Copies of this chain bind each other. A is one copy, B any other.
């Protein structure tokens, strides 16, 4: 398996053409893609790849930590590339058009709160916290017009 700069790095399974094509979609297009978004995009560069393979590999890439999986209120899973160079961020979801945008305002203050919360919740609720998600729902400028 090669990373986006062409250097090898280890992964749990085999590195296949389908797997690379799916990762390429995220590297080239980015965004918060559903399985079907990825499927349609992957067909352009690797027409043979089936939808089941897309699902399997989104799960794989997610387990490998290369992408993150989010469940917004539209009922479909959304996947996003884990880019080390990008800032930690959260999501604004438009309830009208479903578009997702990122924000990273007050991230430092937010992360401080999250850290304090995680410590407190682990203790009081006997709960080992792995991750958190903060989503804002509303209506974007385009939809308000």
A71-B73, A73-B71, A75-B71 are known contacts. Are A125 and B137 too (CB-CB below 8 A)?
Answer: no
Beyond known contacts A92-B121, A105-B117: 19 more, CB 8 A cutoff: A71-B72, A75-B75, A92-B125, A92-B129, A113-B113, A125-B140, A126-B140, A127-B136, A127-B139, A127-B141, A129-B136, A129-B137, A129-B138, A130-B138, A131-B136, A131-B138, A132-B135, A132-B137, A134-B134
Report Cα–Cα, A129/B140, bound state, in Å: 9
Contact A136 B121 (CB under 8 A): yes
> In this assembly, does A101 line the interface, its C-beta being within 8 Å of a C-beta of chain B?
yes
Give A120 Cβ to nearest chain B Cβ, in Å. Answer: 5
Chain A contributes a number of interface residues (CB within 8 A of B) equal to 40
> In this assembly, does A16 line the interface, its C-beta being within 8 Å of a C-beta of chain B?
no
Contact B113 A106 (CB under 8 A): yes
Which residues of the partner chain B approach A36 to less than 8 Å between Cβ atoms?
Answer: none
Which residues of the partner chain B approach A118 to less than 8 Å between Cβ atoms?
Answer: 136
Report Cα–Cα, A71/B72, bound state, in Å: 7
Which of B71, B139, B144 is in CB contact (< 8 Å) with A130?
A: B139
> In this assembly, does A116 line the interface, its C-beta being within 8 Å of a C-beta of chain B?
yes
> In this assembly, does A133 line the interface, its C-beta being within 8 Å of a C-beta of chain B?
yes
| 5 A-B contacts (beta carbon < 8 Å) | A75-B75, A106-B120, A128-B144, A129-B137, A131-B136
